[in-house]
């Protein structure tokens, strides 16, 4: 039987309407109807009770539905496995990263790896933590750079390499009454207007949890998808922001000019964020993905040794 028929059957069962299902599948209603009838003929059973407005599953249809979903999941799994093996043979590695790739120096690591292995093909996927986790679970990413608070919630078997540490800081307009303070307690920000990164981002969730722990919910006036937008709104006096310290550093040269257009204060007590390279167990990695993991480990060890010798 054509596997696509199982996919169409699942969609029709979900929609309970031929036209809606056909629209979702980007096909004609008559074509969908023919496919379902062909499926029923091959199985020798009726899958749907049909009326003028909607269709409902028969007992046979209800029996088939969970197996149809298993079949489609199996197709997705083996297709992904085959694609990953083909990419491995071609020397291709897919790296998932958080949005602040350049500011964490991740692009430097990737470019260094490319110089060492010039024949490798590197694909980058930038996304929110949930996206990265999904990509790694489905093996569409070989490795990901992620914040450990998110990784700790996983149910998959993974390894990790500690890449770097970061911490929350407060960003204020230069004319703000607290702009000259070197360190601020979160309680001092209770009545402030906040500019925040988008909901469900790691930093957003961390800020909300941290503020809740000291007894208040931040009054958020702006939600932004880009760090640059947050910093620009703070500079214009629209509010304050809590970001990780590395997010305030320009990727081009790693520093701002002498006169930074906003004030930065540390948070007391300090709120740390860990960034790690996460991947599946070594026996599930392609050879090129394993080489990338080894390269990151080598880079981190070299950096740590350099810091110790200073």
pLDDT in tens, 6-32: 999 999 999 999 989 999 898 999 999
Within 10 angstroms of residue 225's Cβ, the number of other Cβ atoms is 12
Model's pTM, two decimal places? Answer: 0.59
- Per DSSP, 249 falls in state S
Query: What's the CA gap between 116 and 219, in Å, rounded?
Result: 48
Q: Which residue has the higher pLDDT, 234 or 308?
A: 234
For the chain, list the strands marked E by DSSP: 48-50, 55-57, 92-97, 121-126, 143-147, 158-172, 183-185, 193-197, 219-224, 241-244, 263-268, 272-280
Which of 35-39, 125-129, 271-275 is predicted least confidently?
125-129
Is 111 exposed, middle or buried (CB count within 10 Å of its CB: 0-12, 13-18, 19+)? exposed
Query: Measured at the alpha carbon of residue 87, what is the angle toward residues 129 and 106, in degrees to the nearest 5?
Result: 40
HSE toward the beta carbon, residue 114, CA cutoff 13 A: 12
Give the whole-number percent of the chain exceeding pLDDT 90: 43
pLDDT in tens, 257-271: 456 789 999 999 888
Q: Which residue has the higher pLDDT, 69 or 273?
A: 69
Asked whether the bond before 18 is cis by omega within 30 degrees of 0, the reply is no
Which of 85-94, 133-142, 235-244, 274-283 is predicted least confidently?
85-94
Q: How far is CA 184 from the centre of its chain?
A: 31
- Location of structure tokens 């004319």: 175
Tokens read off for 284:
């599930």
Average the pLDDT over 121-127 and give the result: 86
User: Which of these, 271, 111, 93, lies nearest to 183 by C-alpha position?
Assistant: 271
Query: Measured at the alpha carbon of residue 216, what is the angle toward residues 215 and 222, in degrees to the nearest 5?
Result: 155
pLDDT-based confidence at 255, cuts 50/70/90?
very low
pLDDT in tens, 146-191: 876 544 444 456 788 889 888 899 999 999 999 999 999 999 999 9
Write b or e for each residue in 259-282: b if 16 or more Cβ atoms lie within 10 A of its Cβ, otherwise e.
Answer: eeebbebbbeeebebebbbbbbee
Question: What confidence score (pLDDT) does residue 48 get?
Answer: 93
pLDDT-based confidence at 88, cuts 50/70/90?
low
């Amino acid at each position: 039987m054509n596997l696509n028929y199982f996919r169409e059957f699942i969609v029709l069962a979900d929609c309970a309407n031929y036209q809606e299902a056909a629209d979702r599948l980007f096909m004609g209603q008559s074509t969908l109807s023919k496919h379902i009838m062909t499926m029923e003929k091959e199985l020798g059973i009726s899958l749907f009770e049909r009326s003028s407005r909607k269709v409902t599953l028969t007992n046979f249809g209800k029996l088939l539905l969970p197996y149809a979903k298993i079949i489609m999941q199996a197709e997705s799994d083996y297709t992904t496995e085959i694609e990953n093996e083909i990419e491995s043979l071609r020397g291709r590695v897919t790296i998932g990263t958080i949005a602040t790739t350049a500011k964490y120096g991740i692009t430097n690591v990737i470019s260094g790896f490319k110089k060492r292995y010039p024949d490798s093909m590197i694909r980058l996927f930038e996304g929110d933590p949930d996206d990265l986790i999904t990509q790694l679970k489905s093996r569409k990413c070989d490795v990901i750079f992620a914040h450990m608070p998110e990784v700790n919630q996983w149910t998959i078997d993974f390894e990790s390499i500690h890449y770097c540490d970061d911490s929350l800081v407060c960003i204020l307009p230069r004319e703000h009454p607290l702009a000259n303070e070197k360190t601020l307690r979160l309680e001092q920000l209770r009545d402030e207007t906040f500019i925040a990164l988008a909901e469900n981002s790691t930093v957003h969730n961390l800020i909300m949890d941290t503020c809740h722990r000291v007894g208040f919910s931040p009054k958020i006036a702006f939600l932004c998808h880009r760090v640059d937008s947050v910093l620009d709104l703070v500079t214009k006096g629209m509010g304050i922001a809590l970001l990780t310290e590395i997010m305030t550093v320009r990727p081009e040269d790693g520093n701002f000019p002498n006169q930074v257009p906003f004030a930065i204060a540390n948070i007391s007590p300090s709120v740390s964020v860990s960034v790690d390279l996460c991947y599946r167990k070594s026996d599930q990695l392609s050879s090129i993905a394993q080489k990338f993991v080894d390269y990151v480990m080598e880079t981190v060890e070299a950096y740590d040794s350099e810091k110790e010798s200073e």
